[in-house]
């Protein structure tokens, strides 16, 4: 290398200088005819605001932190630390790399130094993150703190030492659940001195998993309480809406939030990108649809090829595995056409790969052998891959927190970076690229979990009872529904009621998987060689691995020969047909009970329990090039039952008629409103449209009225439908606006069409959907006062019959189908 060779830190020695974000963006947007950029937000560099060290922080700790370059805390760090040290439960919810760890390290380490008996428990969602944190604390070199990881990788020989002598123990909720709490006898010395419980990345505890973790934390509090201990909880969260409420639900305690980020950050040029509408007949992706945008996957692949060709080290985030494979394959092809061999510098990365494959890809990108990587969200946590020049985000990643975490992979070393959000053909994505205030303004979504889910509560109470008999006082700790859950466990014969409480009767402990949805992952095996290609989560297996399905792995194409659900294994063979496969399912729904409702004259809004039955019955083969449907083939897969929570609204036929909706348009209007409502719900709750399902019908036997249902795709519910009910006014207003503001004529995937419609997006009526939602919004009180109902509600659950559904959007299972 000559002295004049331009070298920037972290880049390979033979790379040209990297363009500024503005230059790079100019080059990208000049590539197509129209301008796909709907908004450019320059997120300016922000100077930090320091605060003095808290008076109680010992000199030894300050000196150790100063050696690591921390001269003084940022204001938000000091504020959270002060609250925690004063004994208040606190959540610090600020941006990526804002130094949240100092907020809990300060009070925790100060306490360990001041009180040689005190202990601290740290929880991270992944082992990798706990290992990072261990390194950070150990590097401070503080005497007597004795930090140690205690997880599945900890050698047996070390475990006993950690239990006896560890003072700063780092673990994860799974280990707390499976190891520490069941073995609380061995941990009594640690628990009776526990001063702080640190819950890092607590926004990841959402939905069903979050509801389980909420009860694991209550079990921990119960064990501490037996020793008269009430540890202070310090939680760290990515930016989210209403973090105090979410943290309160997670811990069951009153929690104060610190949300004002006072850390400095580098500038990011953030572009919102809407792929252009395709002219009729050209480059059609799906022949069913009247108007089609260029797919976000193709657009992202082209952008990735362009940035890599410009020598810009780029990470493209794609929501699905299949999508990541497609983006990498297309970018490679485009690069090879331009410069043979250049395609080899792009690869795909996703969670389903085997560990060795992932490590190798990381190494290659870090060393610059690779310039472009298309990844699922697998990189979001615990992997030290930062300092990239550009980040492409293919489709809204579901939460603002994820968006910023992904964008945060770019330019952390202090330089300017480019981030591009490429909108998918989807109502929420379209809404967001045209409403940048929803992205760059205040946080919009809250982390949602539902500890009262009986499918979570009952098994968690069984675990608690196996640890120590439950007392009536414990029922308060576990919250709403605990008494009913205990009664059901007594009835099932696993708990015995005695005057002193409830006792676990079995010899074996209950087997409860915190992350499980009941369906184990399915292995994908190459039949001829027995090679394990990867895994697919159980819920998705019917959609992705049915016989005849085309399965992509690292750009290579396979076709499924057989799916053995009992063995959890799919056999495949290499084959590259010129079609893709799309599974179809049928769904019916019946109302079991109503929890709460709003009676708004001709309009009703309900929250309640429903039974959903769905079955993958067939799949379509479509030509990759044209989207043309070749044929539809039947499948023989078992139906799946789901009891869950739904929100639904009803309208009287008279109100629809007087608003001008013709009877013939009612089915299409409800169907279109349902699709868009599902698409927009993630704006209100941290779910994505694959976590929820829906069903609309012009006459439902249980409601006896035109009805739109939206339900949680998880047994017992996950809190999403409940959130929809509580924010119905805002949610349905955004839904209405998304439809009304879409530039298409009769409905498109950006407004009322759905990628997972069980009815092939038919019938749909865009304009009548707006009218339907106007009727709902006009009648619904702005702040609906929920009314609790009793068993004598007008909706008689006993009369529930399978619905004659017009349409069904099955939740879950289909996360991979946007490839
Ligand atoms: Zn549209
Ligand atoms: Zn549909």
Q: Residue 806: is its pLDDT beyond 50?
A: no
> What is the CA(395)–ligand 2 centre distance, in A?
21
Instruction: Give the ligand whose atoms come closest to the C-alpha of residue 586.
Output: 2
Q: Which ligand is in closest contact with the Cα of 689?
A: 2
Question: Beta strands 90-93 and 37-43: pairing type?
Answer: unpaired
Show Cβ contacts of residue 746 under 8 Å, excluding neighbours closer than 6 positions.
290, 291, 764, 766
Residue 735 has pLDDT above 50, yes or no: yes
Q: Select the more confidently predicted residue: 745 or 305.
A: 305
Q: State the ligand closest to the CA atom of 759.
A: 2
For residues 37-46, give the mean pLDDT: 87
Rounded Cα–Cα distance for residues 370 and 347 (Å): 7
**Structure-block tokens of residue 340:** 């043979």
pLDDT band at 145 (very low <50, low <70, confident <90, very high): very high
CA of 430 relative to ligand 1 center, distance in Å: 9
Q: What percent of the chain has pLDDT over 90?
A: 51
Distance CA 452, CA 478 (A): 8
Per-residue pLDDT band at 804 (split at 50, 70, 90): very low
Report which DSSP code applies to 43.
Answer: E
Q: How far is the CA of 769 from the centre of ligand 2 (A)?
A: 13
Q: Tell me if 677 sits within 8 A of 735, measured CB to CB.
A: yes
| H-run or E-run covering 371 | none
CA 29 → CA 24, 32, 299, 408, 446, distances in Å? Answer: 9, 7, 11, 22, 33
Instruction: Grade residue 7 by pLDDT with cuts at 50, 70 and 90.
Output: very low
Q: Give the bridge partners for 596, in sequence order.
A: 607, 788
- Contact present, 339 and 346 (Cβ < 8 Å): no
- Per the CB < 8 A criterion, the answer to whether 261 and 102 are in contact is no
- The tens digit of pLDDT for each residue in 290-303 reads 456 788 899 999 99
25: CA distance to ligand 2 center in Å?
37
Pairing of strands 579-600, 787-788: antiparallel
Asked whether the predicted pLDDT for residue 286 surpasses 80, the reply is: no
pLDDT on residue 519: 60
Q: How far apart are the first and last CA of the chain?
A: 43
Question: What is the average pLDDT value for the chain, to the nearest integer?
Answer: 84
Over residues 60-112, the pLDDT tens digits come to 999 999 998 889 999 999 999 999 999 999 999 987 667 889 999 999 999 99
Determine the average pLDDT of the residues in 504-531: 82
Q: What is the pTM of this model?
A: 0.70
The predicted structure's pLDDT at residue 277:
77
pLDDT band of residue 19 (cuts 50, 70, 90) is: confident
Cα–ligand 1 centroid distance for 257 (angstroms): 39
Which residues lie at CB < 5 A from ion ligand 2?
Answer: 757, 759, 807
Residue 522's DSSP bridge partners are 536
Instruction: Note the pLDDT of residue 455.
Output: 77
Per-residue pLDDT tens over the stretch 167-200 = 999 999 999 999 999 999 999 999 999 999 999 9
pLDDT beyond 50 at 811: no
How many angstroms separate the CA atoms of 129 and 143, rounded?
23
Instruction: Give the pLDDT of residue 754.
Output: 80
pLDDT tens, position by position, 544-591: 899 999 987 766 789 999 999 888 899 999 998 888 888 888 889 999
Q: 234 pLDDT exceeds 90? A: yes
CA separation for the pair 12, 312 (Å, rounded): 11
Q: Which pLDDT belongs to residue 138?
A: 95
Pairing state of beta strands 603-623 and 629-634? antiparallel
**What region does 190 belong to: left with phi over 0, alpha with psi -120 to 50, or beta?**
alpha
User: Has residue 505 got a pLDDT over 60?
Assistant: yes
Pair of tokens at residue 440: 């760059």
Q: What is the CA radius of gyration of the chain?
A: 27
Most confident of 177-186, 399-408, 711-720: 177-186
Q: 28 or 603, which is more confident? A: 603
Please give the pLDDT value at position 280: 56
Q: Which contacts (CB < 8 Å, 24+ apart) does range 440-444 have?
A: 440/41, 440/43, 440/270, 442/241, 443/239, 443/240, 443/241, 443/400, 443/401, 444/241, 444/400, 444/683, 444/684
Cα separation, 523 vs 220, in Å, equals: 35
Q: Which range among 291-295, 410-414, 433-437, 473-477 shows the weakest confidence by mean pLDDT?
A: 410-414
Q: Model confidence over 780-802: pLDDT tens digits?
A: 987 654 444 433 333 333 233 33
Q: How far is the CA of 583 from the centre of ligand 2 (A)?
A: 14
Distance 425 CA to ligand 1 centre (A): 9
- Predicted confidence (pLDDT) at residue 2 exceeds the cutoff of 90: no
The answer, yes or no, to whether residue 651 has pLDDT greater than 90, is yes
pLDDT value for 369: 87
* Strongest mean pLDDT among 130-144, 374-388, 570-584, 663-677: 663-677
- Residue 568 confidence (pLDDT): 85
Q: Give the C-alpha distances (Å, rounded to integers) separating 245 from 95, 131, 254, 451, 681.
A: 18, 29, 8, 13, 19
Nearest to 424, CA basis, from 239, 679, 222, 612: 679
Phi and psi torsions of 634, nearest 5°: -75, 155
Ligand closest to the CA atom of residue 673: 2
Ligand nearest 670 Cα, by number?
A: 2
Contact call for residues 143 and 121 (beta carbons, < 8 A): no
Distance 676 CA to ligand 2 centre (A): 10
Percent of the chain with pLDDT over 70: 85
Reported residue count of the chain is 819
Q: What is the mean pLDDT of residues 280-284?
A: 49
**Which segment of 195-199, 226-230, 408-412, 462-466 scores lowest on mean pLDDT?**
408-412
């Amino acid at each position: 290398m000559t002295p004049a060779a331009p070298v920037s830190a972290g880049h390979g020695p033979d790379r040209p200088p990297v363009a500024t974000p503005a230059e790079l963006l100019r080059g990208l947007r000049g590539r197509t005819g129209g301008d796909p950029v709907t908004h450019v937000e320059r997120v300016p560099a922000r100077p930090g605001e320091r605060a003095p060290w808290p008076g109680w922080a010992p000199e030894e700790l300050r000196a150790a932190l100063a050696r690591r370059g921390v001269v003084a805390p940022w204001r938000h760090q000091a504020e959270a630390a002060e609250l925690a040290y004063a004994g208040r439960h606190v959540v610090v919810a600020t941006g990526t790399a804002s130094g949240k760890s100092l907020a809990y390290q300060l009070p925790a380490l100060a306490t360990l130094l001041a009180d040689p008996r005190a202990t601290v428990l740290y929880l991270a969602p992944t082992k990798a993150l706990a290992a990072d944190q261990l390194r950070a604390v150990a590097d401070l070199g503080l005497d007597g703190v004795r930090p140690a990881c205690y997880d599945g990788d900890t050698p047996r020989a070390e475990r006993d030492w950690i239990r006896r002598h560890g003072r700063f123990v780092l673990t994860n909720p799974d280990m707390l659940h499976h190891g520490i709490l069941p073995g609380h006898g061995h941990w009594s010395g640690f628990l009776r001195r526990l001063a702080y419980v640190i819950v890092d990345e607590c926004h990841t505890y959402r939905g069903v998993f979050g509801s389980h973790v909420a009860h694991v934390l209550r079990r921990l509090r119960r064990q501490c309480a037996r020793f008269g201990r009430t540890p202070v909880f310090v939680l760290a969260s990515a930016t989210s809406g209403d973090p105090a409420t979410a943290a309160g639900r997670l811990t069951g305690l009153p929690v104060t939030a610190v949300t004002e980020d006072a850390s400095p950050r580098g500038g990011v040029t953030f572009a919102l990108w809407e792929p252009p509408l395709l002219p009729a007949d050209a480059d059609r992706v799906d022949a069913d649809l009247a108007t089609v945008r260029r797919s976000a996957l193709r657009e992202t692949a082209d952008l990735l090829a362009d940035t890599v060709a410009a020598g810009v080290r780029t990470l493209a985030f794609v929501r699905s595995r299949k999508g990541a494979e497609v983006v990498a394959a297309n970018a490679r092809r485009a690069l090879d056409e331009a410069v043979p061999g250049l395609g080899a510098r792009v690869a795909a990365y996703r969670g389903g790969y085997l560990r060795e494959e992932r490590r190798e890809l990381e190494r290659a990108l870090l060393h610059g052998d690779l310039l472009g990587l298309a990844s699922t969200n697998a990189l979001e946590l615990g992997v030290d891959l930062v300092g990239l020049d550009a980040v492409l985000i293919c489709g809204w990643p579901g939460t603002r927190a994820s968006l910023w975490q992904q964008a945060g992979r770019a330019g952390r070393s202090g330089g300017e970076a480019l981030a591009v959000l490429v909108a998918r053909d989807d109502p929420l994505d379209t809404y967001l690229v045209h409403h940048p205030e929803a992205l760059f303004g205040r946080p919009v979504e809250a982390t949602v979990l539902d500890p009262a889910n009986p499918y979570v509560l009952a098994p968690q109470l069984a675990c608690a009872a196996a640890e120590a008999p439950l007392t009536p006082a414990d029922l308060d700790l576990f919250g709403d529904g605990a008494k009913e859950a205990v009664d059901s466990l007594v009835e099932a014969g696993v708990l015995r009621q005695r005057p002193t409480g409830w006792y676990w009767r079995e010899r074996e402990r209950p087997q409860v998987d915190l992350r499980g949805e009941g369906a184990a992952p399915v292995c994908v095996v190459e039949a001829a060689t027995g090679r394990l290609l990867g895994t697919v989560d159980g819920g998705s297996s019917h959609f992705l691995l049915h016989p005849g399905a085309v399965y992509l792995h690292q750009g290579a194409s396979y076709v499924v020969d057989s799916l053995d659900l009992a063995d959890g294994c799919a056999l495949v063979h290499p084959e590259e047909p010129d079609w893709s496969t799309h599974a179809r399912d049928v769904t019916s729904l019946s109302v079991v009970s109503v929890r709460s409702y709003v009676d708004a004259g001709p309009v009703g809004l309900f929250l309640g329990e429903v039974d959903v039955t769905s079955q993958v019955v067939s799949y379509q083969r479509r030509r990759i090039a044209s989207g043309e449907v070749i044929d539809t083939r039947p499948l023989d897969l078992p139906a799946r039952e789901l009891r869950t929570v739904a929100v639904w609204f009803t309208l009287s036929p008279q109100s629809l008629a007087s608003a001008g909706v013709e009877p013939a348009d009612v089915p299409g209007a409800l169907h279109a409103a349902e699709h868009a409502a599902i698409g927009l719900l993630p704006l209100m709750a941290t779910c994505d449209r694959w976590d929820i399902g829906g069903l609309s019908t012009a006459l439902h036997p249980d409601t006896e009225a035109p009805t739109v249902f939206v339900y949680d795709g998880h047994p017992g519910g996950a809190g999403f439908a409940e959130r929809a009910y509580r924010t119905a006014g805002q949610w349905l207003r955004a839904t209405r606006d998304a439809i009304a503001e879409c530039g298409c004529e009769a409905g498109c995937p950006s407004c009322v069409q759905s990628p997972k419609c069980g009815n092939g997006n038919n019938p749909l009526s865009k304009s009548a959907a707006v009218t339907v939602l106007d009727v709902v919004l006009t009648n619904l009180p702005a702040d609906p006062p929920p009314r609790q109902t009793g068993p004598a509600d007008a909706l008689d659950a006993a009369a529930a019959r399978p619905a004659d559904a017009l349409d069904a959007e099955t939740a879950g299972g289909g996360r991979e189908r946007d490839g």
